[in-house]
Chains A and B, each alone.
Chain A
């Protein structure tokens, strides 16, 4: 490259090379400068090496070339800066210039050979290099020359193509077109210089920069400050013009908006771009943008630039930017609502022409702008979510941040309205997916909230959009009630979406129903969805939602007084001892297995913000209380019989109870668990009053709505279970017991007592009968088994189980091969079944039937099997 400069200095090489160009593309008059061209093409292969060498050889020359004025710039500021800086700057500039020269060289070679692919690639590289050049410095003249030449040769090539029938090959033709486009674009920027070049091709390169130098000199001090001292913009702002990076004056005019935007878009995602700076620029642009199209474009870019700030896995988007983004999104939505001819859609081609904004073509109704409102809204939502995750929930900051949710909800709602208006027009292809996503977002902000809160949210956002707007999916008139709203949103998703989104909608609805005490509906939906079979295949977020829903259904059952169902539902989550992890409400300390930082980070990302949490202490309290009410009578019933191990409802509870019993001294209860344990102990001893007082003194009940009702329900349950426990425990010591006495003891109505006893007798839990005349319970003698007898029973059970297993094993082994066995075996099994039925008639078998009666088990697998005994 430097060689070229030199030669350019010696003779009129710029002239000649453009001539050569003609020559090669035209292939006509070959006499002119034949030798030189040949010489150059010979050197083609070596050009790279050479240019590198040239670096060293001709550093001196460069001073005379384009480098000279760059140097001047540096020198002009050298008063302030010390030598080190200068050296550094110099070397960088040298390097850049070298690259530039290499590219120019390549392009020239390409021009000679008619290799448009090469030209296209190199031209791109060249452009990139030029933009990287420190602004404020002059555009290197060789560059101007090259682009001027390229333009010419492109035109020629095109003209020639029209004339000659011979076709270029496809890749070349494509490259040519690409170059043409690019040249058109870039040359606009440098029109003046190109014109100057054309006027005086020979001397252009050598013409002094004097007249132009005035500008850089005038600006140089400012530019330097900007480069050296961070925060120079403020200084610049005080002046009249804003100075961009590198000292170029940035004139923000409505006309130049697109150019700036393009520049910003191009640097997006690259290293060392100052995002904050760009955002500042765009904020300015936004102020001056005066047509809707400009505003829309600026806002789209601005919002996404703001989101870039929070990209990466650890960064959180700064608060003020979030707020600004929220403002800008709603501004964007307002603009879109006010100017219905502009629409923003995902699947539109970008408008490339920066000079003139697109205008309405006849026959078209809309001007389409590429962009995705739903992605922006989702991103905004995610960012709020992330920021809430990272804020300590017990500070006022959290609450303040939480207030932004209202604004976010408004944006979501308006986004939905926007998509609805788009959907109204058949001609626009709105991806159904976008609408689904936005509805899902709305639902996600609603489902876990109490009706009152949702109502406030809704009122606010309806107020925000004004009176004359209505929504097609959630009409104003119908969606006023939160339950209706949830129903409508979910119904929409059921019909229009599929897969996980649909499942999530269902879970959200069930959650909402359970939260609002609609237990049966929630349970039926949950069961009918058959989600428990497929949930393991879902992504983790949805599994968490499933767990949350399950827990909420369980709590709802508890509030309804359905102890058995509540326990059964909560078992899977609470029995695991990993509630925190399963509900994404805290990271579990893992004692034995090492967690990789990656896993931990993912885990942290999944955490729910505090306001969505289900109170774990309350959950534990409910679970333990339910377990107590079921386990204590069961423990009393099974007593010391050998199969006591078989029937455990809640392992967690049993473990706690054992631990509690091992303690030598038990102090007054301190936490929830202590309370329940001591209540259990009292209940087991028949002291139901004490048990009730323990349970009632648990503070956490206050978090439940209708605390009093719940306490009352619990008292009632404890009374009944107390009676049952008492009967189980003390039956062996009585012949008869008066119903009246029992009714006094447990302060229950005597008919109620009779009913409970009847139930126990009829389920064969209690070997007794009632005497109607004297109103006594008569305990049958001889049913209490001695140890030997019960062991004998257990042994016989095991023996028959062994035979059963053997038969089954054999059956599996000989599947379909041994017919004889099938026949005989069938008879054999028949005999066995009779025996089993007889066994069930015994006093021990009775419990099973009672457990089966629930029939609404959510749990499956091992846990379910354990419950079913």
Chain B
């Protein structure tokens, strides 16, 4: 695996090397694939080749023999893969048969309605029920687990997920159930079944909290893994956003990020910033942004990339030139990042909004030319952009086109208004209190 990582451009922008150890082989594959595509796009044939050979190495240990064989043919330009691949393929197939036979009975059982209806929420009772009524043994249940694992290794994620689900329903072996949950999560991610992936995430998270509560080290490791895995749904599925961000911002997970994988901050920032346009609940958004700024500041000594630098420049140093420069770099980084590539435009747009927002907060009169430059746009586009912004956000601002300036109007916060705000609920609350006391 090290070979591929070495082959990748080591320009500091890529954090592949950091991410890779925390992903499973199969989860890593799409990332490598992405890098390969990038290399091909750039026309860097040699690099692409290297990545391809890396890919083969990566998958050699799996059971996806057909695919590896094709890859091999591609790489070496031969029509027929070497004999070892066919042999391996044969092995895999026999194995597959074996497992199928082993699990045949139980699989059939679980498709029958009356059996499924007989199941209760008590696992031990279920097992007892199946044992008595249908002669299911513990070995058969465990065979489900093995078969699920095997299918996962074959790259048949859908069936693997089903198998593992069935196993989980029946098994009472906690360790194996936990492993099955992880496996199911991976399968769901790889079969892009995001909704159930998010559910599985929750399961895994609970498992970590309850099962490993007295082993902080293992907890940390598992959480690190979970954080990395959850990046897949985070950037691919709208509905995953909120729960996953909530998870990331919870104390134990933000600690994990800060201790063992500060590079995740990049994704966290991207997710928060891109999320701002969906201004459904902006107070949460504001709070998250504030938190992010704090973490970036705390981790500045340990980790920095263009995206954290952007946050740093905008919110900590208040250096708008640096922020613009950082934004330009971040755009590049995003485009070459597997997770962020899709949301690059949204990110850049949202980042511009942020620049503009804090700019407007601080300045009362701004030169459109300068502002556009700061946003990385040409003056005409800039003007249009600003007008749109003013219209969208109903900023109290006007454009003076004679001077080419934007004039902001900062209404002072009225002190009487403040007093009224503060004492607003007083009467009502006292009444409630009164009622409660007199009861």
Contacts and interface: CB of A to CB of B under 8 A. Distances in A.
Contact of A856 (B298, B365, B432): B298
A835 interface: yes
B290 interface: yes
Interface string B358-383: 10011111110010000000000000
A841 interface: yes
Interface in B419-435: 419, 421-426, 428-430, 432-433, 435
A783 B439 CA distance: 45
Nearest to A785: B415
Contacts of A757: 362
A621 B412 CA distance: 42
Interface string A746-774: 00000100010111011000010111111
Given A520-B302, A793-B419, A772 B370 contact: yes
Interface in A823-869: 824-825, 827-829, 831-832, 834-839, 841-843, 849, 852-853, 855-856
A762 B318 contact: yes
A314 interface: no
A762 B319 CA distance: 12
A824 B435 contact: yes
A769 B297 contact: no
Nearest to B405: A773
Contact of B425 (A528, A751, A832, A855): A832
A255 interface: no
B421 A855 contact: no
A778 B416 CA distance: 23
Contact of A799 (B298, B413, B426, B437): B426
Interface string A93-135: 0000000000000000000000000000000000000000000
A92 interface: no
Interface string B291-317: 001100110011000000000000101
A821 B367 contact: no
B252 interface: no
A789 interface: yes
A796 B423 contact: yes
A7 interface: no
A209 B329 CA distance: 112
B410 interface: yes
A398 to B, nearest CB: 40
B262 to A, nearest CB: 11
B417 to A, nearest CB: 8
Interface string B269-308: 0000000000000010000001001100110011000000
A816 to B, nearest CB: 13
A806 B426 contact: no
Contacts of B302: 520
B428 A762 contact: no
B429 A799 contact: no
B78 interface: no
Contacts of B423: 796, 799-800, 835
Interface in A789-812: 789, 792-793, 796-797, 799-800, 803, 806-807, 810
A520 B319 contact: no
A57 to B, nearest CB: 80
Contact of B365 (A528, A772, A814, A838): A772
Interface in B112-129: none
B408 interface: yes
B94 to A, nearest CB: 46
A780 interface: yes
A803 B410 contact: no
A520 B412 CA distance: 41
Contacts of A780: 410, 412
Q: Which of B361, B418, B435 has the most CB of A within 10 A?
A: B418
Nearest to B421: A838
Interface in B314-349: 315, 317-319, 321
B421 A839 contact: yes
B367 A772 contact: yes
A299 B120 CA distance: 76
Contacts of A783: 412-413
A576 interface: no
Nearest to A795: B419
A782 B413 CA distance: 9
A565 to B, nearest CB: 11
B362 A770 contact: yes
Contact of A759 (B294, B318, B426, B437): B318
B403 interface: yes
Nearest to B360: A769
A821 B429 CA distance: 11
B79 interface: no
Given A810-B437, A821-B439, A800 B298 contact: no
A528 B256 CA distance: 11
B436 interface: yes
Contacts of B405: 772-773
Q: Which of A781, A793, A803, A831 has the most CB of B within 10 A?
A: A803
B367 to A, nearest CB: 5
B137 interface: no
A800 B301 contact: no
B18 interface: no
A528 B319 contact: no
B363 A824 contact: no
Contacts of B358: 762
Contact of B413 (A751, A825, A829, A841): A841
Nearest to A758: B318
B419 to A, nearest CB: 5
A810 B436 contact: yes
Interface string B375-401: 000000000000000000000000000
Q: Which of A789, A827, A839, A842 has the most CB of B within 10 A?
A: A842
A828 B429 contact: yes
Interface string B85-100: 0000000000000000
Contact of B363 (A771, A782, A832, A856): A771
A744 interface: no
B436 A821 contact: yes
Q: Which of B302, B416, B419 has the most CB of A within 10 A?
A: B419
A842 B293 CA distance: 21
Contacts of B425: 803, 828, 831-832, 834-835
A230 interface: no
Nearest to A833: B425
B196 interface: no
Given A769-B363, A778-B364, A835-B421, A855 B410 contact: no
A865 B367 CA distance: 44
Contact of A820 (B297, B321, B428, B439): B439
B259 interface: yes
Nearest to A831: B425
A839 B294 contact: no
Contacts of B439: 818, 820-821
Contact of A755 (B318, B364, B366, B435): B318
Contact of A772 (B301, B363, B418, B435): B363
Contact of A803 (B283, B419, B426, B435): B426
Contact of A796 (B410, B412, B419, B436): B419
Contacts of B290: 849
11 contacts: A762-B358, A772-B366, A772-B370, A818-B436, A828-B429, A831-B424, A831-B429, A835-B422, A835-B425, A853-B294, A855-B294
Interface of B: 259, 283, 290, 293-294, 297-298, 301-302, 315, 317-319, 321, 358, 361-367, 370, 403, 405, 408, 410, 412-413, 415-416, 418-419, 421-426, 428-430, 432-433, 435-437, 439
Top 9 nearest A-B pairs (CB, nearest first) are A821-B436, A769-B364, A831-B425, A758-B318, A796-B422, A838-B421, A828-B429, A771-B365, A828-B432
Given A520-B302, A838-B422, 13 more contacts: A767-B412, A769-B363, A772-B367, A773-B365, A778-B364, A792-B415, A799-B422, A810-B436, A821-B439, A824-B432, A828-B425, A828-B429, A839-B422
